[in-house]
Amino acid sequence: MIIDSHAHVVAPPVFYAYRANLLAAGGRYRPALGVSDAAVAEAAAGNIAIMDGVGTDMQLISPRPFHQMHSTKPDQVVHWWIEANNNLIAQTVALHPDRFAGVAGLPTCAGAPIEAALPELDRCIEELGFVGVLLNPDPYEGTGPSPRLSEEYWYPLFERLVHYDVPALVHSAGCNSGRETYSEHFVTEESIAILSLLNSDVFERFPTLKLIISHGGGSVPYQIGRWQAERLMPKFGGSPDAEPFEEGLRRFWFDTVLHNPLSLELLFKTVGTDRVVFGTEKPGSGSGTDPKTGRVFDDFKTTIDGIGFLTDADRSAVYEDNARALFPRLHARIPA
């Protein structure tokens, strides 16, 4: 079985018309939203055709990150929009329970306490049956002082994730700074997330916390030598007796959303196939065709199948076994 742990919901056009109405209303009232099962089914059918074309059996779908609007004010707009996204995901899952499972968006509003996002997390896990959450480490979307994931601000969320035994996919949202596109910001924030957490005591405080770093861990696997060196150097706050950086890196999980075979090989060699879950973010910004191969860049299964040093056991771990271990709430959804 091929489980795609990093994918986003495909929505009908009427859903984005609702987003425009929300923004126009400015939080003064909640516009009506009615998305028919027929419209959702039509959107999902296109996604399922793409999945079938690359051999994916199930996708774990979350809101499209750059549409989450976490820095939008007033906060009520964000709460209503994220709730609508999660309801749309639940509607999609209900139509195709054998092909999709839900990963919740959270209304992590810029400047608001993280506790304000927890009721929606509770609703998605307890009422909608979702199996994980999407965690944006930069609610300000590049425009303000978002707390690093190592800071106590995030502890109530970490406590709730541990309580439910659900993982979070660390994935930033939009970027409004003018310095980066949202895709560039993804890589920036994933790198900051890893480094801030490994230079903190978060994993000592929450030893069973499960965090997946999207897009293969940002820049960190590529730059690992720099961080290995700093970890051992006292003038940078390190120590010769410190835990090796590469061992700390294995506290995380990583997905395969890396669009170059050499990058995927580096990830597997750096963290081990036992810490990687299959992900495609498909359909998405990696769906362009590589002129050298004639294949789309995000046909990751074909790429992974072609990596010679991987064993059948390695591929089984990446494609299925690791996801089953990481998302225990999937057990009720898919046969062993």
CATH of the domain at 322: 3.20.20.140
Per-residue pLDDT of the chain (336 residues; tens, 9 = 90+): 999 999 999 999 999 999 999 999 888 988 888 899 999 999 999 999 999 999 999 999 999 988 889 999 999 999 999 999 999 999 999 999 999 999 999 999 999 999 999 999 999 999 999 999 999 999 999 999 999 999 999 999 999 999 999 999 999 999 998 888 888 888 999 999 999 999 999 999 999 999 999 999 999 999 999 999 989 888 788 888 889 999 999 999 999 999 999 999 999 999 999 999 999 999 888 888 989 999 889 899 999 999 999 999 999 999 999 999 999 999 888 877
Active site residue 281: yes
Tell me, yes or no, whether 335 lies in a domain.
no
What is the C-alpha separation between 280 and 254, in angstroms, rounded? 12
Cis peptide before 65 (omega within 30 of 0): no
Tell me, yes or no, whether 140 lies in a domain.
yes
Tell me, yes or no, whether 190 lies in a domain.
yes
Run of H or E including 8:
strand 3-8
pTM value is 0.95
Tell me, yes or no, whether 260 lies in a domain.
yes
User: Which member of 120, 189, 281, 320 is catalytic?
Assistant: 281
How many structural domains compose the chain?
A: 1
pLDDT at position 283: 87
Pick from 10, 60, 12: nearest CA to 33: 12
pLDDT at position 236: 80
Tell me, yes or no, whether 30 lies in a domain.
yes
Tell me, yes or no, whether 212 lies in a domain.
yes
Distances from the Cα of 259 to the Cα of 76, 98, 292, 304, angstroms = 37, 27, 13, 11
Tell me, yes or no, whether 18 lies in a domain.
yes
Cis peptide before 283 (omega within 30 of 0): yes
Domain that holds residue 266: 3-330
pLDDT at position 232: 86
Tell me, yes or no, whether 264 lies in a domain.
yes
